[in-house]
A and B are shown apart, each in its own frame.
Chain A
Amino acid sequence: MQTLTNLPASAGMSLKPEYFDSVHTNLDANLWFEVHAENYLIQGGPRLEQLQEISSHFPISIHGVGASLGGPDPISQEHLSRLVSLLNLIPAAVFSEHIAWSGTQSNYLGNLMPTPITKDSIDSTAKNIMQLQNALQRPILIENPANYLSFKSDMPESEFMMSLVDITGCGILLDINNLFISANNTGIDPHSYIQGLNSDAIGEIHIAGHSTDPNEQGLLIDSHDSDVSKGVWELLEALLSHTGPKPVLIERDGNLPTFEALLAERNQAQHLINSIKKIV
């Protein structure tokens, strides 16, 4: 089995272009960064140059949002070749994608839409994962979605994820915020979900802030625009007690705090990783 991730089992943080000038080489040697692949599928310019420079000092995780693994079509060849070009430029420690879809080859809807959790869907999603892994010449990590409502399904989502791991040899990016949101919105038990996963398959963990839907108080939205909530921290601690230290990312996409403030939140995750004792 190929190594799922070359990230250290330490805490990382989202890297936005707004933070580039704050990244200095005297930061914590265990620090790593994650970027969205699609923001760097560009021809050139300062954004790409600065990421290349940072990647020569810190491990970089590249996180895709547009491959549409759970969609009805194979992955677009053009998109694949652009991802390959990016990974030739940036030495990524890991590549991850969502178990979601964003449209068809003729209708791109710029969204992470729910993948049907069905037997048929396992086959088509596994084919797409294999297509991506073959193009990138490495195993990828697949991320569990944030669910807002329940769809008819053939199995629990954790079983669906593990089936994809078993068929394709990929790993799992377990997004604890997504799991917390899914538990709140659809009533699943997050601890059973974690128990349903093989710990060795988990190559990275995400935590992030969420918000409440303005139209429905009880509905949580995966907005990545606030600090990590207490409930998500607690679920992370429970997960790490189960798995032992893993790479943990503080994910932030909106309402960006200062670099120092996000780094402080990242350091909180690092303290948690340092203090964790695995429950055997």
Chain B
Amino acid sequence: MSKFHAAFIEYVKTGHFEAIASHLTGAENQGRLAVYRNTFISGCIDGLTRKYPSCEKLLGVDFFKTLAREFSISNPPTNPVLSEFGEDFPEYVRDTLKQEHPDLSYVWDICQLDRAWHHAYFSLEKVPLDEAGIESLIVDIENKSLSLHPSVQLVNVSSAITTLWSQLRDSDISEQMAIEFKPETVLLWRDSGKILHRVLAASEALFILSIYEGKTLGESAEIAMQSDEIDISNTFSQLLLNNLIT
């Protein structure tokens, strides 16, 4: 690496301009170097804001920016695709808030749902089972293993925040909402370009997770029924109707 490149990286990452100063035509230029450092950080913050919009609304612009800025400096992007930046941001938020704001533990859940929305939105497209494919399932259905649509996301959250999250995605919230610290499993998927979601019963979640893991429908049903009552036929029909079986 050339001395210029090494010195420039050191400046942008740390703000120390001693090494890059020897490459400038005049000392008066030093202050202008800040443009590059500021652009780097503001680009990262913009990327995180687009990926975690509900988190930003919940925390407020200033608090979110502070967290996003600190995260970006300690966890800079690893490739040029900005939409892939910040995969670990929810965990960073969780760990950071744990110290000073333990009452905000549900913010991690909100971030996880934003991340899942993002994955569902940009996932691969795959044609769902057509009528002939569905008919072919009937014979020996219990021993069939199926694939879920690539957009399917299953998220376990530690608090019942899915309604709050959904409101934050669609609009601002103006009234206080009570947060119940009761775990939920949320299914997200893409249908006709829109991201849909549903809170699952524990048995439904186990059934869908088992299909995702490659277990046969019979095995998946058995695992689900050990957890709780479940109408397997209805749950499976819902998956077909929502084009989630491919």
Q: Which residues of A approach B to under 8 Å, CB–CB?
A: 38-39, 41-47, 49, 65-68, 71-73, 76, 78-79, 82, 101-104, 107-114, 116, 118, 120-121, 148-152, 185, 213, 215-216, 219, 221
Chain B residue numbers with a CB within 8 Å of A221 are 35
Nearest-Cβ distance from residue B21 to partner chain A, whole angstroms: 11
Chain B residue numbers with a CB within 8 Å of A45 are 121-123, 125, 151, 190, 193
Interface contact B1-A104, CB-CB below 8 Å: yes
Nearest-Cβ distance from residue A146 to partner chain B, whole angstroms: 10
Nearest-Cβ distance from residue A102 to partner chain B, whole angstroms: 6
Chain A residue numbers with a CB within 8 Å of B43 are 110-111
Q: Which residues of B approach A to under 8 Å, CB–CB?
A: 1-2, 4-6, 8-9, 12-13, 23-26, 29, 31-36, 39-40, 43-44, 47, 76-83, 85, 121-125, 150-151, 190, 193
Given contacts A44-B125, A111-B40, contact A72 B29 (CB under 8 A): no
Interface contact B9-A219, CB-CB below 8 Å: no
Cα–Cα, bound, A8→B36 (Å):
34
Given contacts A49-B193, A102-B80, A110-B82, contact A151 B23 (CB under 8 A): yes
Chain B residue numbers with a CB within 8 Å of A114 are 8, 36
Interface contact B85-A44, CB-CB below 8 Å: no
A-B contact pairs, 8 of them (CB 8 A): A43-B150, A44-B122, A101-B5, A103-B9, A109-B40, A113-B12, A116-B5, A216-B32
Chain A residue numbers with a CB within 8 Å of B35 are 148, 213, 219, 221
- A116 and chain B: residue at smallest CB distance: B4
Given contacts A104-B1, A111-B39, contact A46 B193 (CB under 8 A): yes
Chain A residue numbers with a CB within 8 Å of B82 are 38-39, 110
Chain B residue numbers with a CB within 8 Å of A113 are 8, 12, 36
Nearest-Cβ distance from residue A55 to partner chain B, whole angstroms: 16
Chain A residue numbers with a CB within 8 Å of B23 are 116, 151-152
Interface contact A42-B40, CB-CB below 8 Å: no
Interface contact B124-A72, CB-CB below 8 Å: no
Interface contact A108-B76, CB-CB below 8 Å: yes
Cα–Cα, bound, A76→B79 (Å):
9
The 7 closest A-B pairs by CB, nearest first: A66-B80, A46-B193, A149-B29, A44-B125, A72-B1, A149-B32, A150-B25
Chain B residue numbers with a CB within 8 Å of A68 are 80
- A213 and chain B: residue at smallest CB distance: B35
Cα–Cα, bound, A110→B47 (Å):
10
With most chain A CB atoms within 10 A of its CB, the pick from B1, B9, B25, B150 is B9
Given contacts A110-B85, A151-B23, contact A104 B5 (CB under 8 A): yes
Chain B residue numbers with a CB within 8 Å of A215 are 31, 34
Nearest-Cβ distance from residue A89 to partner chain B, whole angstroms: 12
Interface contact A43-B124, CB-CB below 8 Å: yes
Interface contact B8-A108, CB-CB below 8 Å: no
**Candidates A42, A101, A107; contact of B76 at CB < 8 Å:** A107
Interface contact B81-A41, CB-CB below 8 Å: yes
- Given contacts A45-B125, A72-B6, A103-B76, could you give 8 more A-B pairs where the C-beta distance is less than 8 Å? A43-B150, A44-B125, A46-B121, A66-B81, A111-B40, A150-B29, A215-B31, A219-B32
- B80 and chain A: residue at smallest CB distance: A66
Cα–Cα, bound, A149→B35 (Å):
10
- B37 and chain A: residue at smallest CB distance: A111
Nearest-Cβ distance from residue B42 to partner chain A, whole angstroms: 10
Interface contact A71-B5, CB-CB below 8 Å: yes
Interface contact A72-B2, CB-CB below 8 Å: yes
Interface contact A108-B125, CB-CB below 8 Å: no
Interface contact A151-B39, CB-CB below 8 Å: no
Interface contact B25-A151, CB-CB below 8 Å: yes
Interface contact B25-A107, CB-CB below 8 Å: no
Cα–Cα, bound, A118→B3 (Å):
12
Interface contact A110-B44, CB-CB below 8 Å: yes
Given contacts A66-B81, A72-B5, A152-B23, contact A110 B29 (CB under 8 A): no
